[in-house]
Amino acid sequence: MLSAMKYASPTTVAEAVDLLGSEPDARVYAGATDLIPQIRAGRPEPNVMVDLKRIERLCAISSSGSTYTVGAATPTADICAHDGLAAAFPGLVEASGLIGSDQIQSRSSWGGNLANASPAADTPPSLIVNDARAVIAGPGGERTVAAADVATGPGTTSLGPGELIVEFELDEPPARTADAYLRLIPRTEMDIAVVGVAARVTLDGDGKVAAAAIALGAVAPTVVRVPDAEAALIGNEPAGDALAAVEAAASAATNPIDDKRGTVAYRRQVAGVLARRAVSIAAERARERGGQS
């Protein structure tokens, strides 16, 4: 109902952590593109809304040469417009660009997308295949965890009381490495993933797979990795039998539900198809990237 709510706009991480700890029902937000619709739909109202967008560190993109640091509240529109990120993580940037519409993109963030912990969120599978790390600040200081370890189930995270995500760290990918993200939605945009698949592939000099990571969204309570598919690729060309094995393993790794957005059978079948296609696209990009890194 958005009635008697307080608004705070800290400018430092420490201030934000203090505010978050000051009231039991305080909530941080970046774009609020998840939070506001949830409140309107009747979820409990926070009594303090802590706006993270005034904290410079949370909205900055920087690179040390070997590592990119992306503020957790950075609008995905800025991420999509960043040439360095687009070159290094084309799949992750594509996933970011799929969120909502231009209007949503000007607000939506990786931090919100991950912390909201929707199984169907578009960027977490790509963050995970790229081994992104989340830097988390809280009353006890800062800690760094794998992005894969933030969401623990639909709507639940491993963040402790008073904790917030400050930024994400992504290592510059090695040579002949690229990622891809594909999602299935019935429409062309403004829709929610029925299945989402991120793949990252590193090729060796002979065009065989040296390393692979595949993660599925919207087919289980949290993002699932597909180790069997990854293993099937290693040492093989990303084609033929290896891709068929990827497809089968991805379907088998799903643990989906029947709901208004999709059936178990559909999600299972399409997860395999998209995994195969995402690996092909990632491998093709890795080939094009050649030795550059």
Partner 1 sequence: MTVTEPKPRYKYVGTRPVRHDGLEKVTGRARFAADLNLPGQLHGIVVRSPHAHARITSIDTSEAEAMPGVKAVITSEDFPAVAPGHRQYDMCVNVIARDKVFYEGHALAAVAASTRDQAQAAAAAVKVEYEVLPAVLTIDQALAPDAPVLHAHMMTAGANPPAEEASNISNITRFSSGTDMDAGFAEADLVMEREFTTRPVHQGYIEPHACVADTGQDGHTTIWCSSQGHFNVRSSTATLLGWENTRIRVIPAEIGGGFGGKTTIYLEPLAVALSAKAGRPVKMVMTRDEVFRATGPAPGTKLRIKLGAQSDGNLVAGDAYLIYTNGAYAGPGGLLGAMTVFESYNIPHFDIEALDVVINTARSAAYRAPAAPLTAYAMETLLDEVAEELGIDAMELRLKNAVTEGEPSTMGFPFARIGFVECLEAVRDHPHFSAPLGPNQGRGLAAGYWFNIGESSSATVNLNEDGTATVVTGSPDIGGSRASMALMAAEELGIDPMDIRPVVGDTEAVGFTDITEGSRATFATGMAVVEACRKMVVELRGRAAKMMGVDVDDVDWVDGQAVYTGSDSDKDPLSVADICAKAKRTGGPLTATGSLEAHGAGPGFAVHLCDVEVDPETGVVRVVRYTASQDAGTAIHPSYVEGQIQGGVAQGVGWALNEEYIYDSDGVMENPSFLDYRVPVASDLPMIDAIIVEVPNPAHPYGVRGVGETGIVPPIPAVANAIYDATGCRIRDLPMSPIRVLEAITANGGSNGS
Ligand X SMILES: Cc1cc2nc3c(=O)[nH]c(=O)nc-3n(C[C@H](O)[C@H](O)[C@H](O)COP(=O)(O)OP(=O)(O)OC[C@H]3O[C@@H](n4cnc5c(N)ncnc54)[C@H](O)[C@@H]3O)c2cc1C
Residues of this chain that interact with partner 1 (CB under 8 A) are 1, 3, 184, 186-192, 194, 243, 260-263, 266, 269-270, 273-274, 276
| Piece in contact with ligand X (CB under 6 A), picked from 6-14, 107-115, 227-235, 244-252 | 107-115
Torsion of CA 86, 81, 121, 67, to 10 degrees: 50
CB of 92 to ligand X, least distance (A): 13
Q: Which residues pair with 171 in a beta bridge?
A: 67
In 3D space, the residue among 175, 289, 172, 279 whose CA is nearest the CA of residue 234 turns out to be 279
Beta strands in the chain (DSSP E): 6-8, 26-29, 48-51, 61-63, 67-71, 133-138, 141-146, 151-153, 156-157, 164-171, 177-184, 195-203, 209-217, 224-225
Q: Which of 10, 17, 31, 133 binds ligand X (CB under 6 A)?
A: 31
d(CA 8, CA 5): 10
In 3D space, the residue among 109, 61, 112, 114 whose CA is nearest the CA of residue 85 turns out to be 61
Q: Which of 17, 19, 39, 52 binds ligand X (CB under 6 A)?
A: 52
Q: Which of 13, 93, 121, 209 binds ligand X (CB under 6 A)?
A: 121
Q: Pick from partner 1, ligand X, none: which does 177 bind, CB < 5 to 8 A by kind?
A: none
What's the angle, vertex CA 255, arms to CA 34 and CA 100, rounded to 5?
Answer: 25
CB of 198 to ligand X, least distance (A): 12
CB of 186 to partner 1, least distance (A): 5
Q: Pick from ligand X, partner 1, none: which does 269 bind, CB < 5 to 8 A by kind?
A: partner 1
CB of 24 to ligand X, least distance (A): 14
Count of residues in contact with ligand X, rule CB under 6 A:
31
Query: 149, 157 in Cβ contact below 8 A?
Result: no
104 near ligand X (CB under 6 A): yes
d(CA 276, CA 270): 10
Query: 110, 59 in Cβ contact below 8 A?
Result: no
Beta carbon nearer to partner 1, 31 or 138: 31
Amino acid making up residue 31: G
Q: Which of 115, 129, 135, 213 binds ligand X (CB under 6 A)?
A: 115
Residue nearest to ligand X (CB): 112
Q: Pick from ligand X, partner 1, none: which does 55 bind, CB < 5 to 8 A by kind?
A: none
Q: Pick from ligand X, partner 1, none: which does 104 bind, CB < 5 to 8 A by kind?
A: ligand X
Query: 209, 234 in Cβ contact below 8 A?
Result: yes
Binding site for ligand X (CB under 6 A): 27-35, 37, 52, 72-73, 98-100, 104, 107-109, 111-113, 115-116, 121-122, 159, 164-165, 190
